[in-house]
Structure formats: C-alpha cells, structure tokens
Chains A and B, each alone.
Chain A
Amino acid sequence: MGRRLADLFHGRPRLQAGALLAGPVGWLVVGYLGSLAVLLVTSFWTLGELSGEIEQTFTLDNFRDVVENDVYRSVTGRTVLIAGLVTVTDALLAFPLAFYMAKIAGPRTRGLLLVAVLMPLWSAYLVKIFAWRGILSQEGVLNWALEPLGIEGPGYGLVAVWLVMSYIWLPYMVIPIYAGLERIPNTLLSASEDMGAKPTYTFRRVILPLALPAVIAGSIFTFSLTLGDFIAPTLVGSGEQFIGTVVRDNFTVDLPFAAAFATVPIVIMIVYLLVARRMGAFEHL
C-alpha cells in the first residue's frame, strides 16, 4: 500500500502539493470561508414577529437598521474612534521601544527586550483586562498612586477602554515595527549622517518612510482587534456600547441582526487591508 502510494506520488509534485493542501485548505475554505458566507446569508434573514424563530426569507431590514438607526451609527462611530485612538497610541508607544531595540541596544539587551515584549503577546488576554479592572477600581492602585498629587484616576468608562485596549494590543505593534526597523541597513543611516543630515532630519526623511509599512502592518492588528472586542467594554467600561457588545447581546435573541452588525467590522477591515496592501504593509506581516 505504502509502496504503491509512493510510486503514485513520486515525480508528481502537483499531486503531492494537492494531497498536502487538501486538509488545511479544505478546512479553511469550507469551514472558515464557508462560515463567513453563512454569516452573510444569515444577516439577510429575519426573526418571525410572532414566533421569534428565524425565518429564512430574504430581507434588507437588518442592514437598514445598522445603517440608518442613529443608535447603531453612533456605536459604529464610537468603536472606530476608539480603534483609531488605540492604533495611534500604540504606534507612538511602540516606535521608541522598537527603535531602541533595533538600532541602539546591544545584542544581549535586544534579546532580553524581545522576549520581554513577546512573552505577554498573546497570553493572559482576559487576565490583563481583569488586572486593569483592579487597577482602575475606586480603591485600586491608580487612585492610590495619584492621591498624593490630588488627582483621581479615570475610573471605568471610555478612557479606561481606550487605555486598556492600547495596553492589550501594544506588543502586536512593537514586533512588526522592530522587524521593519531591523531591516533598514545601518549604512543608510550613516550615509545620511555623512552628508550632513541631523538626526531629526535622518529620522524624518530616511527612517520614517522606510518604517511606515511596518507601522501600518502593526496597525492592522491593533485596529482589527479593537474593532471586535467586547470584553474590555464589559470589564472596564461604564455601559457604553461597542460593535462587539451589540453583536454579543443580540446573538442569542436576534441572530440575523447580530450577523448583519458583524459585517460592519468585516467591511471596515476589507477596506483597511486594501489600503494597507497598497502601502506595502503586507510584506511586514
């Protein structure tokens, strides 16, 4: 059996590739893309007015609601605003750190810093938000630290959501910027310096343009992940609605509407990804 299979595959690279790909591509195309298609189809269905059961008849009502209802429009606006603020905050925080790692620190420090940034990258997402719930609470760490200065922390609310989201997604911004900066040859910076450019000029005209695609690559994650989150608003918000919370609250009672609202981040991200690709960010993913 094994022998005959081997003969069948030997010298037939296409067949080999096909056999390797069948499982994973099948899973992702049928299972994942298929599910996204189902999501889209579900969003055109409706709830029966009397039964409360899902009726599989085509309607645009859900989308009309999403686009025309002021409440949902402001939810979308608020979510996009926070996602944008988080992205800018993370870029500002990540850049100096990434620059120090890539261009200033020695090999040993660089290795240590890298592991320090990587370790909490994916881990303990929920726990991190939970930690901030403690820090920001009335009797928590922040108010205790600020008390001698006579000021009070932001407490739970929009500011807290912005702060916590920036905190959670920061490593996702550091890593691509670091990798992008590392790719810039040091000789380029020396050349700029030799020709009389001051560091600020070199930064503005050489480093920044070369690092921009990497920043955009990082922003894909900070932006996308903020767009769909509902844990942070629940744990450190003060009842503000976001795309994530609306979808979560509706999916048990009105799945078609939740599905329609979930297409909003998809559309936003498709546009975002198209722009990012034009700016060369995909090579830095």
Chain B
Amino acid sequence: MRLSRGSQALLRISTGITLAFIYVPLLVIVVYAFSVSRTFEWPPPGFTFDWFDLAFDNTGARDAFVYSVKTGLLATAVALVLGTLASLAVARHRFFGRETVSFLVILPIALPGIVTGIALNSTFTQVLGIDLSLFTIVVAHATFCIVVVYNNVIARLRRLSGSFEEASADLGATPWQTFRLITLPNTRTALVAGALLAFALSFDEIIVTTFTVGAGDQTLPIWIFTNFSRPNQLPIVNAVAVIVILISIIPVYLAYRLTREESTAARGGAPVASGAVTAP
C-alpha cells in the first residue's frame, strides 16, 4: 500500500515508541541490578557488581535456582513426549475429533493461570490426597508446556511430506525405527525449539506454581516473590531478576533462530512460522 510520507513517518515513530515501551523496563531492571543503592533510587548513585556476588552466595536463591532448573527439565521432558505424540497423531492421521485435540492442548494456557492452578490443587489435595511436591509442580508445568512442543512440531510435520514415513513402513521398518530414522532427524530442530520454549515457560511461571508448590519448596520466581518486600533483599532480588531475564529470553531467541532457518528454506524466504514460536 502506498502511504503518504507523513503517515509512513507516523507509523515508524509509533513503532519505535511501542518497541521502546517493550524494552525500557527490561533495561531499567538491568541498571537497577548494578546500582549501589538499596532502594529503587533513580538515577543510580553509583554502580557495583556486589549484588551478583551476594546473589550467587545466597543459599535461598541458589536452592531456588536449582529447584527451578530441575522442575523445568522434568516438565520439558514430559511435555516433549506428550506434545510430539499428539502432533504426530494430528498431522499424520484422520480421526473423529481431530480439531478438538488442538483446542484441548491450548486450553491450559488460554484459561487464566489461576484456574489451572486451583483446579490442579483441588485434585491433588482433595481427590488424590497427595502432598504438594516436585511431582505436583512437574505435572502442572508439563500440562501447560505441551502446547509449545505441539505447535512447533506440528508446524514442521505439516511442511514435511508423510510419504517418507509411509515408504519406511512399507519397506518393513517398525514404527520405532521409522520414528528414529525418518521422523526424528527431520523434526529435530522443531523439537529442540519446542523444548527450549517449554523450559523458558516453566522457568518463569509463578501463578500455577503458587498453587502446586510443596510447603518449604521454592522456585526462583517464588523466591523473588517472597523476597521483594524485604527491604534489605532488594538489590539481590534485582540481580536475580536479571538472571531470570537471561535464562528466559535466550532460549526464546535460540528457538526463533532454529525455526526461522527451517521455514526460510522451506518457504523461499518468507519470515517465520509465527504460529510455531508463539504457541497460542
């Protein structure tokens, strides 16, 4: 569409402002993490690396970090298996209720986190009568991470002809052989991208976690949330916040790179399968 120079400039300016709106707060928290001040004082009176040292030495934060990584890895593993199975079924087979599967997979992330959280909490504590623990968090996180793997893998499978798999089966390969030798090599980057996003999603989640975390256990977001109001902890919380930003943004960037290269090759330079990276 040919727009006048004036309206083009206007669009460009509003784009710039919106992007600034997205990134300035993230930069601010990075600056705060290096500020010598123990409050949110701005401009910072000076800069220091001390808070990062203190954050690394803080046993509470360190334990929470390890716990988050453990949760993230386990939840990602479960989501990877379930998401891949579901995407193979939907992409390669026709059956009654096929559309419902996509809807079912999206539901845990489309409904407010508080609904998912309290529903799982009632099931665990009232029906199953089990104590909240690592197991319950992993179940909860895996449930809303399935969609990420599913969307990435199904986008890849749809671009990939199913005839290779059929040929493999016709030549006598077992389903497992076909998966290992044909499907897996062709979907590997989508699986890695899905796993990275699932991990990032789990690592940063707090709402569902609040309802499924065991007594005495803390994920890193829960640690931040319980420490933000303690005045002396503020600088350490800022430093931990920066670590969380890095751990949750870098996987998303890597996942984007992985899926983009594939789709650029497949679609002749058209940018990204946006649906693949943005699960919902």
Contacts and interface: CB of A to CB of B under 8 A. Distances in A.
B160 to A, nearest CB: 16
A24 interface: yes
B221 A126 contact: yes
A238 to B, nearest CB: 14
A140 B40 contact: yes
A139 B228 contact: no
A199 B7 CA distance: 10
Interface residues on chain B, size class? 35 or more
Nearest to A110: B271
Interface residues on A, range: 35 or more
A24 B120 contact: no
Interface string A102-126: 0110010011011111111111111
Interface stretch (A28-36, A58-66, A70-78): A28-36
A6 B180 CA distance: 14
A9 B175 CA distance: 8
B28 interface: yes
A80 to B, nearest CB: 12
A24 B11 CA distance: 44
Given A31-B143, A32-B143, A131-B28, A96 B260 contact: no
B241 A131 contact: yes
Interface string B227-252: 01000000001100100110011001
Interface string B3-45: 1100110011011001101110110110010000001111100
B115 A265 contact: yes
B182 interface: no
Given A167-B21, A227-B112, A17 B95 contact: yes
A108 to B, nearest CB: 9
Nearest to B243: A127
Given A111-B260, A139-B41, A126 B244 contact: yes
A179 B249 CA distance: 22
Given A23-B81, A38-B126, A251-B118, A230 B224 contact: no
A38 B266 CA distance: 45
Interface in B125-154: 125-127, 139, 142-143, 146, 150
A254 to B, nearest CB: 12
A217 to B, nearest CB: 9
Of B21, B143, B175, B280, chain A has the most CB atoms within 10 Å of the CB of B280
Given A23-B85, A32-B104, A269-B112, 15 more contacts: A28-B146, A33-B104, A39-B119, A97-B14, A97-B19, A104-B11, A115-B256, A118-B278, A120-B252, A122-B200, A130-B241, A137-B39, A176-B278, A262-B115, A269-B111
Closest 8 CB pairs of A and B: A228-B112, A123-B248, A20-B89, A17-B93, A6-B174, A24-B86, A228-B114, A131-B29
14 contacts: A13-B94, A35-B119, A96-B11, A97-B18, A114-B272, A116-B19, A119-B249, A125-B206, A175-B278, A190-B1, A228-B111, A230-B114, A265-B112, A269-B112
